[in-house]
Amino acid sequence: MARLNLAAAALAIACYINPSNAFVAPIQTTKTFGLNVATADETFASEGAKKQVGNDSFLNENLMARAQNGPGIKNKEKLKIGVIGAGLAGMVAAMDLADAGHEVEMFETRPFVGGKVSSWQDKEGNHIEMGLHVFFGCYYNLFGIMKRTGGFDENLRIKQHIHTFVNEGGKLGSLDFQFPIGAPVSGLQAFAKTEQLGLEDKFHNAVRLGTSPIVRALVDFDGGMDMVRELDDITFTEWFTQLGGKRGSLDRMWDAIAYALGFIDCNNISARAMLTIFMLFTIRTEASVLRMLDGSPQTGLHDPIIKYLEDRDVKINLGTPCREIVHDVDDEGKPTRIKGIKVGGTQEYKEFDVVVAACDVPGIKKVLPESFRKYDQFDKIYNLDCVPIATVQVRFDGWVTELHDEMRMMNVAGDQSDGRGAGIDNLLYSVDAEFSCFADLAITSPGEYYKEGEGSLIQAVFDERATSRSNDQLVKDCIEQLNKLFPSSKKLNCTWSNVVKLGQSLYREKVGQDKFRPAQATPIPNFFLAGSYTYQDYLDSMEGATRSGLMVADEIIARADGPNGLAAMSKKAKVEEKESDEVPFFLSSA
């Protein structure tokens, strides 16, 4: 989904405030985040996974190189590994596991890979997506994966370091990060000059953000980050308004940021979720730089990964859902070992040494056997829920976002720019529409979305406020709201449209959810979890999915060898099972 990671521009305004006064926090909270630094050594067996969590993970410049270079380890023992789900997390995990010398087979319910980042073509050749996918400069792990598969330089288009809000009537507001000095100064000047807020709201933002843990982090990073982690039990609105923030700022900027980040508003989103992103932007100038694919996710992101996997003999079974996880239990009915999985319409049994469930939240709830809930780690997952979204694509016979030149707006005869069309070549945000973020893909991602002789292809993501409407009504509402944002576009006609509804997309980043996110390793020694909902210090996003895939691979690789390793455990279990089968029936019943 489109992840609005621009928000930390605002936090730089806090430079107006003395950092020594930055850690006022009268609200008392408890530490409810899923994992903390103190327990990381107990939770993770691998050094690689440990580096993806904790305060240092925000400062670690080597994460991209780790993702690019692979695990750097070949296990002595070869495991047969089954991966349930071929989304980004599952594919990344498979890359590392194959490079470590293991036999990997994947099973995906859909007829295509990608999970929530999927795309496909309809019968007329139109590329369909399930969300608007953007790549911010802090996607270090994902960029490393794309460099590893050869897709980074060729398939991503960098955008101007400006984030644009489109308001009703065509009035634009922006956060312009282009400045000779980096963060936090670049954010300070962008926020100070933005047209999106008036002087009074800018002042109140300065007061609130000047007393935030983010400013403390400028002089004491660990202290500031620890404070952010403690804010999972209050909403962003509660946090923002307790010391000077006003409703006007929430309405004109922060609600749009919250909707674009997690598809819920400031009254519901966790302060921890918002401030975690702001913290990253405080310390990394490049984090707010935006890239978009030159074409579809399938072509630009997934196809290079698929080739990488197939070159290493990874088998990907599409349209093959996992029907059952076959497992042993102890006397109390608790699972002790995974034997294999049953897949597809015929429920074919596949035996594996290790199984990775690389699913999203609804997927993992569906695939887990009821007996697994006897373990607290699995049972907590059922406290997570997801937000519904609707992705609306609308093609026009002209250029919707061209505000200044009507002739250019109507001209679809040929190339007018590097983006091949007239208008704004960037991701766009709005507080005056039900879609918090949108883009003209014919301009931002022309490789497969620009069509000669045709105009804009607007892709807009509606949140749960609109998903109950019919597809036809959503298209109509999208066009009407675009006309309000871009009045000149009323002269254009819709030539094609499509709607994809996703009943459960990102997990809902409401208060108190971080403690329910599970680690990748589980109480069942040969069963692991992956997916952006699992615990890592980024949020539910493409980067979060990538991190989880790398972490689960590191955990398996670290546990594979040795007398008590996963390979030894599997061999021992199979021997015991065989011996048990060979016991005469009259002895086994004695």
Does this chain's domain 44-116+303-385+508-576 share its CATH topology with 120-156+387-502? no
Residues whose CB is less than 8 angstroms from the CB of residue 70 and which lie 6 or more positions away in sequence, other chains included: 95, 96, 99, 148
Domain residues of the chain, as ranges? 8-31+188-288, 44-116+303-385+508-576, 120-156+387-502
Structure-token pair, residue 547: 């991190």
Structure-token pair, residue 443: 């301009």
Q: What are phi and psi of 83, to 5 degrees?
A: -115, 120
Please state the separation of Cα 124 from the chain's center in Å: 30
Cross-strand bridge partners of residue 393: 459, 498
Residue that has been written with the tokens 């599409």 in this structure: 318
By the 10 Å C-beta count (0-12 exposed, 13-18 middle, 19+ buried), 482 is classed as: buried
Q: What CATH number does the domain located at 44-116+303-385+508-576 have?
A: 3.50.50.60
CA distance 463 to 333: 41
Q: At what angle do helices 271-283 and 255-262 cross, to 10 degrees?
A: 90
| Beta strand extents in 167-270 (DSSP E only) | 172-176
Q: What is the pLDDT of residue 583?
A: 55
Q: What is the pLDDT of residue 276?
A: 82
CATH 3.90.660 fits 120-156+387-502, yes or no: yes
What does the angle CA 15 – CA 16 – CA 17 come to, to the nearest 5 degrees? 85
By the 10 Å C-beta count (0-12 exposed, 13-18 middle, 19+ buried), 37 is classed as: middle
Structure-token pair, residue 374: 């006897």
CA distance 525 to 2: 35
Q: What is the pLDDT of residue 17?
A: 34
Residues whose CB is less than 8 angstroms from the CB of residue 37 and which lie 6 or more positions away in sequence, other chains included: 53, 54, 55
Q: What is the pLDDT of residue 203?
A: 87
Q: What are phi and psi of 107, to 5 degrees?
A: -135, 120
One-letter amino acid at 330 equals D
Structure-token pair, residue 41: 């050594």
Residue 16: Cβ within 10 Å count: 16
Which candidate, 298, 294, 339, 369, places its Cα nearest to that of 110? 298
pTM: 0.91
**Of how many residues is the chain composed?**
590
Residue that has been written with the tokens 């985040």 in this structure: 33
Q: What is the pLDDT of residue 41?
A: 60
Structure-token pair, residue 458: 């607007």
Could you read off the pLDDT tens digit of each residue along the chain, which spans 590 residues? 444 433 343 343 333 333 333 333 333 333 334 454 445 566 788 888 888 887 777 777 788 999 999 999 999 999 999 999 999 999 999 999 999 999 999 999 999 999 999 999 999 999 999 989 999 998 999 999 999 999 999 999 999 999 999 999 999 999 898 889 888 788 778 878 889 999 999 888 878 877 788 788 878 888 888 898 889 999 999 999 988 788 988 999 888 888 888 999 999 999 998 888 777 777 788 888 999 999 999 999 999 999 999 999 999 999 999 999 999 999 999 999 999 999 999 999 999 999 999 999 999 999 999 999 999 999 999 999 999 999 999 999 999 999 988 999 999 987 776 667 889 999 999 999 999 899 999 999 999 999 989 999 999 999 988 889 999 999 999 999 999 999 999 999 999 999 999 988 988 999 999 899 999 999 999 999 999 999 988 888 999 999 999 999 999 999 999 999 999 999 999 898 887 766 555 554 44
Which candidate, 67, 23, 47, 117, places its Cα nearest to that of 500? 117
Which candidate, 402, 8, 427, places its Cα nearest to that of 190? 8
